[in-house]
Structure formats: C-alpha cells, structure tokens
Amino acid sequence: MESLSLWALAGNTLIAVLTAYLIGSLSFAVIVSRLMGLNDPRTYGSKNPGATNVLRSGSKAAAVVTLLLDAAKGWLAVYAVQQWGASYGLEAGAVALVGLAAFLGHVFPVFFKFQGGKGVATAAGVVLATDPWLALAVGASWLIITYFSRYVSLASVVAAIFAPVYYLFGDGVAWRADNSIALALAIMSGLLVWRHAPNLVRLVKGTESRLGAKAKNGA
C-alpha cells in the first residue's frame, strides 16, 4: 500500500471518528423502551437513559437488551478500525479516537439533544474490543463491588478508575506502546466519574439506591 498523504490520513480519521460518534449517539435505552412499549427512561428514576434505569421499569429483558446494544456501540466502532483501518492508515491513535468518539456519542448524543447516559456499557464495549483481558479485569472488579455493595454506581466509578490503572500495569502487548490508548481510557474514566457525581453525593448521604431496590427520588 502506498503511503497516504497527510490530508488523506486526516480525512480518513475524521470520517471514522464522526461515524463512531453517530453510532454512539444511538440511545438504545430510549429506542428499546419505545419499541417495547415502556415509558421513556428519561422520565423516571434517575432519568438517565441507561440499562440500570431501564431496569427500574420492571422489564429485565429491556434492560439486558439496552446493556448489550450500548456495549456493542463501543465494541463495533473500535473493532471496525482494528480490522479494516490499516488499509486507510488508521493505527492505534485512530483506535483511541474512535473509541472515545463512540463513548462521547453515548454521553452527548446528537440525536437526543445531547442528553445521554453515563457511558458505562459503551466504555465497556470499547475496552472489550481494545483488549479482552483488560475488559475481564475491569469487569471482574465491577462485579465484585456490585455483589458486595449492591451499588451499581459505586462499582461503575471504581471500575472506571481501575481501567487505565490496569492498562498501565498490563503485560505490555504491542498496542500499549502507544500512549493514545491510555489517554483515551483516562479521559473516559474522568468523564464517567463526573457523570456519577450525583450518585457519589447520594452515597455519602446514604440515599443512593441499591441494585434491586425501589429507586429513591432522583436516584
């Protein structure tokens, strides 16, 4: 393959990033709820369009589908660039940008007035496509904290913080030589913590809803 010009590479990267953002902007909590005849998740519970809040509708099936589709958005964006991006000059830096774009699309979706979810599932999809072993470590942390505390928000925040830490202390496979992946994970981690700020306040006050419990006002 002939070397791409700087302009061609920049154009390909921009197209990939915009496509990932648009995919991320599909708010499946809202879409799935509408298709299954449920209330808009932005009108009850935490008013957050995510799988945890959809679960409060009483439909476990809707929550599971939402979770899987939200994760699939992040996974697909990264996987596509990993598989076919090299032909267009897209390397690790583009993978990082695309994963971050899909995450930002979920948090600030253009199709839903930029009012999106917290991004946990989409971030998980990005991590899974980036490195399954990293995803396993982060997922295990989330499951352990959720199981013992019953606080999904706490587990999500801790897992988000651990993700870049696990990455930096990983076993040094090839893509870890590029700091762009670490930077993308750190940015997602920071945004996830920020998006959970109200939950952290309620945790301190003791008013945060536990998994399986009836949601408290604003939880």
Q: What is the pLDDT of residues 154-200, one digit of tens each?
A: 999 999 999 998 888 775 444 444 678 889 999 999 999 999 999 99
Give the HSE-up count for residue 180: Cα atoms under 13 Å, Cβ half-sphere: 15
Query: What Rg, from alpha-carbon coordinates, does the chain have?
Result: 18
Residue 138 and residue 188: Cα distance in Å, rounded? 14
CA-based end-to-end distance of the chain: 53
CB atoms within 10 A of CB 180: 17
Mean pLDDT in the chain? Answer: 88
Element (H, E) at 170: none
Residue 126 and residue 72: Cα distance in Å, rounded? 8
Contacting residues for 120 by C-beta, under 8 A, at least 6 apart: 50, 156, 159, 160, 192
Q: What is the pLDDT of residues 19-43, one digit of tens each?
A: 999 999 999 999 999 999 999 999 9
